[in-house]
Structure 1
């Protein structure tokens, strides 16, 4: 994998430390390590795709990963003529902490000033790249992988029980926490400064949801222009595209085909399982844009093959099962000779496409009813003794209960860790070691930090952090890199995000119609069948297949048997999940079984 890492602070055996941290980061084999170290600091970069490098000059060291665009003409020229890491170093000397505001795109960088014993770390606006750090006394350690940071002898690999709880709750370990005590991850749009042995954090960028009022035609023209620019900038030699048949991937293929004036190679994954396969929509888009389609139907045996790949590719446990089709899709592209793929991730989170946005409107409408009427009539009826458990009052009771939870916690009503009493799910020792309320507090902090009082905007802002930066981008980035592919996200181009954020809120979700503006503005580009399709996703029939395909079932059984020894989840609850999965709830319980299985697989692969 591509990566950067380094430290600021005295370390005598600095050359050995560079090697130690590089080995821990699981960098791509055979790719040279660009490094510079001294007793006072060290920086290093390894880049299979040519997007990471270091630059040391005049007592300053810059370490960069990503493909930033510099808005300053002189810095842009430096980046083009030499390397973006050089532009970061020179830009820091000229602009200091203002530098990231003069950059757009995907990037993470560190600037070290050893003579001042200070440093600065920065992450891009959407979290397309990754950066983490640890402070120990007067030392600062950083890296794009938590493994390289933890490999520094001042840090270590002590697992934080709270991170395990967060993983079970979110199916990933959301920033700023990491799996290891003392190691923190940067949030999207965040800047971390290290001075006088102290850490300070701030956001150099905030999503601005101030609506811009303009005629629909004006918004549409600007949107189509930005889409064309973003796709052209993301394109390049040996570039193909993901095509799931959803709105976003179809938009990217359509826009790329139009920009090129030529067919695009597209890669799609199918599933021979009822309710999971969307190949008909991918074929619909491929036919519309006359693309060169490449299809692969995933088999249960492929999941068995992918499990160790996933366990080895991520630097923390990762529990999103759609990593499997993502990997095989990227692998097919690589085998066909492609080096880059365009993905449609981000459209739901900036244009109002997630089904829960419309669903939550129904709950929020409850608070338009006068409070006296709610308290004195509706809620007493919903709780009538002996009747509230019967239809239709049971539905009314459930509606009232969920509405009164309030956002954003209402979004987690069906979370496994809320649906089951914790003392039945987790061991007593583990419960004592964690703060269950911390996960909810993390959701509330991001929701309330949104620069808007519109709950639709607040939910999209929440999803930019937890659904996109912490989950989907990690999924796609790691799986494409594992397959030897670099990925680009045109819908997450900073210009596109800024445009979408300024749309009036009813352009995002109008009534119960998701992505109203997006679909209306693309009505001439997208097939009607895709515009009108229901939301699906890149799901995986793991729950069903693990009960039908013995090798996969054996992997599940062996993993959960080993996991019982960890002392985190009640063994009886693990047995309960397996039993329920064998019945009519295979898909529902299959989600948590996958999450636990991948946690155990990751721990074993990383010697824990």
Structure 2
């Protein structure tokens, strides 16, 4: 559907440069789009393609530029140039004026690369929210980049070597977080980051930081009116194709996008919803409430256990790195349904929780943070000694809960967020083989979390958690999920709630308006209470959760695929066979939902390895 790649360095001839670039493209897509563009030189090559978004290459002297995305500029002249010619031409103009600081004036969702053969440099960057991605490597005085790891390792100067650390990080996060990648010596840009290749070395820098407000007056009415206008503007920027539809889970975000789309359409807006014939998972009732409320043309599909069996190999092959978010299955089924109905562009509601404060852990962490308000003398001299030393406390429910609360409250953020992580529920030596552990730093996941948690000037724990989730929950996980599954289904996807103006607006809301007491998304829900159905505002969050753990117990083809995958994984030397046996037994003994999560993650690791081995 869309992507870009390129390389710079060495002394090749133009025929070989074309061969190298074409091989990178072939590794990234089986479908040659009519929009495919490419440029080659004696020591470089670039290519770009996209069916919906802008994709363009531009050559100006020894300057070669490639860009893909839905871009707009904070400069009228550059916007006009992009419309008259191409976005790549606008980048060339901006770069010639401002150098790498041109990125500060470039907005929207994009990935861009500039090769300056005269200066011997290459620059790559992605958008502020990480909607697009870029992987890169710098072997043998070359610089290689692409929107997937597949493109980078297809270059003849690269080796396809799995990085054990990335396997460990995947099992911790259920995806491979940036800046690492599944392959050794291949890195990924973080949201709002650029990388400059010069003199054989790569230097990364952030060209943008989201500024949060830690306090401020409410100004509720004015903010409410601003949000409503921003939603309309974001929708206009997002709807770049007439054949447009919207994901609709029935939650706050998807209902908002469906509603704004419906209001702006001259005909009933097309919405697409997924259901499950499993207790506790089906949200179709809420999707129908929203559809009726806004008068949308609703399309529905119920995912079956056989759909899961059929889709697992497709997902494993589609991702360029192991990916363990099980809701990729219903996301693909929903996007596929849209494609079958003639939709070319889908609007997704992802991002609302991470900018307006909608994840349950924000309220939960406020409870733990309140422990610091207890006088230190009382905590250290009485509460903590008593709770840790009182015999028989585990048999008294109220005191057992208090002991657990104190123990967790003593763990600083962001480490406290991962208290229940599978990799913390047992020691590394119980899960992994000794040979594997010798190759990894099992503290790296926490180090990555701490780095991002501290990468904001805000002192508010709510704002710091939001900043953390923009990277790990959104850019590293949810956006990868939706982007890749929509591409697999053959539709494009845009994210109106991640419009930069909305993100900036939300960041300037005082934390007390995002999470008021223990009320999540307080401002957003209050501001839209006359717009959204009441049932939407009061429902608990769920999304496209997959009942994998439940279905695996009862549907034999799914059980066989899972067990076969875990059996094959045993032989790779990562995981101890005893741990896999215990996991299966715990799943069978009545904890299907909880242990089904880790089983899925391990199964998808093995499936990915099988589909991406040389």
Question: How would you bin the TM-score normalised by the shorter chain?
Answer: over 0.9
Structure 1 match to 2:120: 117
d(CA) in 2 for partners of 1:28, 1:411: 41
d(CA) in 1 for partners of 2:115, 2:216: 40
Asked whether the equivalents of residues 256 and 532 of structure 2 are also in contact (C-alpha less than 8 Å), the reply is: yes
d(CA) in 2 for partners of 1:81, 1:314: 35
Structure 2 match to 1:77: 80
Structure 2 match to 1:7: 7
d(CA) in 2 for partners of 1:28, 1:125: 28
d(CA) in 2 for partners of 1:212, 1:189: 26
SS of corresponding position for 2:245:
strand
1:49 and 2:49 matched: no
Structure 2 match to 1:461: 467
Structure 2 match to 1:559: 565
Structure 2 match to 1:496: 502
SS of corresponding position for 1:513:
coil
Structure 1 match to 2:65: 62
SS of corresponding position for 1:108:
strand
Deviates further, 74-83 or 238-247:
74-83
Asked whether the equivalents of residues 218 and 513 of structure 2 are also in contact (C-alpha less than 8 Å), the reply is: no
Which of 394, 404, 411 in structure 2 is aligned with 1:405? 411
Which of 167, 181, 185 in structure 2 is aligned with 1:164? 167
Structure 2 match to 1:139: 142
Write the deviation string for residues 254-307 of structure 1: whole angstroms up to 9, x where unpaired: 112222354211100000000101111101101111111111000000001111
Which of 215, 221, 244 in structure 1 is aligned with 2:219? 215
Structure 1 match to 2:378: 373
d(CA) in 2 for partners of 1:309, 1:87: 38
Structure 1 match to 2:420: 414
Structure 1 match to 2:242: 237
Write the deviation string for residues 208-227 of structure 1: whole angstroms up to 9, x where unpaired: 00255351101111111101
d(CA) in 1 for partners of 2:365, 2:515: 11
Asked whether the equivalents of residues 35 and 55 of structure 2 are also in contact (C-alpha less than 8 Å), the reply is: no
TM-score under structure 2 length normalisation? 0.97
1:478 and 2:481 matched: no
Deviation at 1:53, TM superposition (A): 2.4
d(CA) in 2 for partners of 1:26, 1:565: 31
Deviation at 1:92, TM superposition (A): 1.1
Write the deviation string for residues 382-408 of structure 1: whole angstroms up to 9, x where unpaired: 123322212222111110111111100
1:394 and 2:400 matched: yes
Which of 433, 437, 440 in structure 2 is aligned with 1:431? 437
Asked whether the equivalents of residues 2 and 27 of structure 1 are also in contact (C-alpha less than 8 Å), the reply is: no
Asked whether the equivalents of residues 206 and 451 of structure 1 are also in contact (C-alpha less than 8 Å), the reply is: no
Question: Is there any run of 5+ residues in structure 1 with no aligned partner, and where?
Answer: none
Structure 2 match to 1:246: 251
Asked whether the equivalents of residues 28 and 48 of structure 1 are also in contact (C-alpha less than 8 Å), the reply is: no
d(CA) in 1 for partners of 2:162, 2:51: 30
Asked whether the equivalents of residues 121 and 191 of structure 1 are also in contact (C-alpha less than 8 Å), the reply is: yes
Which of 110, 117, 130 in structure 2 is aligned with 1:107? 110
Deviation at 1:373, TM superposition (A): 0.5
Deviation at 1:228, TM superposition (A): 1.2
Deviates further, 535-544 or 515-524:
535-544
d(CA) in 2 for partners of 1:291, 1:330: 17
Structure 1 match to 2:537: 531
1:258 to 1:173, Cα distance in 2 relative to 1, 3 A: same
d(CA) in 1 for partners of 2:146, 2:160: 14
d(CA) in 2 for partners of 1:544, 1:26: 35
Structure 2 match to 1:364: 369
Deviates further, 228-237 or 44-53:
44-53
Question: Is there any run of 5+ residues in structure 2 with no aligned partner, and where?
Answer: none
SS of corresponding position for 1:21:
helix
Write the deviation string for residues 112-162 of structure 1: whole angstroms up to 9, x where unpaired: 001211011111000000111111242111111111111112222111100
Counterpart mapping for 1:544-555 below 5 A = 544-555=550-561
d(CA) in 2 for partners of 1:407, 1:30: 46
Write the deviation string for residues 532-585 of structure 1: whole angstroms up to 9, x where unpaired: 111222100001111211111111011111111110011111111112112211
Asked whether the equivalents of residues 232 and 256 of structure 1 are also in contact (C-alpha less than 8 Å), the reply is: no
Deviation at 1:94, TM superposition (A): 1.7
